[in-house]
Amino acid sequence: MIRETGYVADPLARRMQQQRNKILGVFTYESVFPSTSADFYHPFLGGIEECAEEVGCDLLLFTSAPVFHGRRQVFHENNRLRLADGCLLLGRRIPSEELSRLVREGYPFVSVGRRDDADGPVPYVGADYVTATATLAEQAIALGHRRLAFIGPGTGAESSADRLKGFHSVTDGPHLQARGDVLGELLERGITAAFTEDLADAAALAEAAAARGLSVPGDLSLVALGDPSRPVPGDSDYSGFHIPRKQMGRQAVELLETILSGTTAETQRLLPCEPVKGKTLAAPGGI
């Protein structure tokens, strides 16, 4: 039965019932340690560490989780979840079955990033991608753009779906994937402003445009919906927004603390993204 449920005894909690260990677990679904200052996950982790220090908690990084079918799993026969008072979950995609089990078993946790695919409400601190993307689309239209396109997955992770939702709340522009000759397709459709889910895709489009003798933003405006998740060459100042990554990490710890102390009924937060004016969004050529 123990092997089936993945339960492990918590010697500290069993010895000191009603008391806390002041240990917060951190489980990452991607390999994010060690992390350089330029890494996408570094601000999240910095915010988590900073706030944990302020509230007097130690962090326990769960690194023994095995990988099954290319995915790490928090539940396994040797999991040590209950050594911590609660856990912070970090990753682009978190299996819905694991979220549902955490909710069902009442284990205290907070997801860094909005989640909606569990059997019950998931505590989270996320970024308001819907509003941020919609605001940028409205700005593009106000500048005179009439043909806009969204480039990126747009599905799968909630962060992708939220960006596409924000885009389509303002325009019915096409949703394209960042593969093949996507620039050629944009030009065929007469697109004058492209919204890329990943800044790295905006950089790739800018490079492809330059190779064809096109200018950004003169011939094509580019909007980056967040920070790069992979290295980006060059130092172009892209228009778009920054994800409040450090604040998401900080507030995830704060929220977990209030859940553990039973002092809040609010378990879901969305933080505003920081607008970046940049130099890649301007009125379309000829206007």
Please name which of 11, 58, 48 lies closest in space to residue 28, comparing C-alpha atoms.
48
- The pTM of the full predicted model, rounded to 2 decimals, is 0.88
User: Would you list the domain boundaries of the chain?
Assistant: 2-127+244-271, 129-242
Question: Is 279 in contact with 75 (CB distance < 8 Å)?
Answer: no
Is the Cα torsion angle 266, 120, 156, 168 positive or negative in sign? negative
Distance set, CA 10 to CA 22, 79, 203 (Å)? 14, 11, 49
CATH class of 2-127+244-271: alpha beta
pLDDT in tens, 179-221: 889 999 999 999 999 999 999 999 999 999 999 999 999 999 9
pLDDT in tens, 90-141: 988 888 898 999 999 899 999 999 999 888 899 999 999 999 999 999 999 9
- Give the pLDDT of residue 38: 62
The CATH code belonging to domain 129-242 is 3.40.50.2300
Distance between CA 61 and CA 249 in Å, rounded? 15
Distance set, CA 266 to CA 45, 79, 239, 256 (Å)? 23, 28, 33, 11
- Give the pLDDT of residue 220: 97
Residue 110 corresponds to which tokens in the numbers above?
A: 């907070």
> 88 has which bridge partners?
26, 110
- Note the Cα 245 to chain centre separation in Å: 8
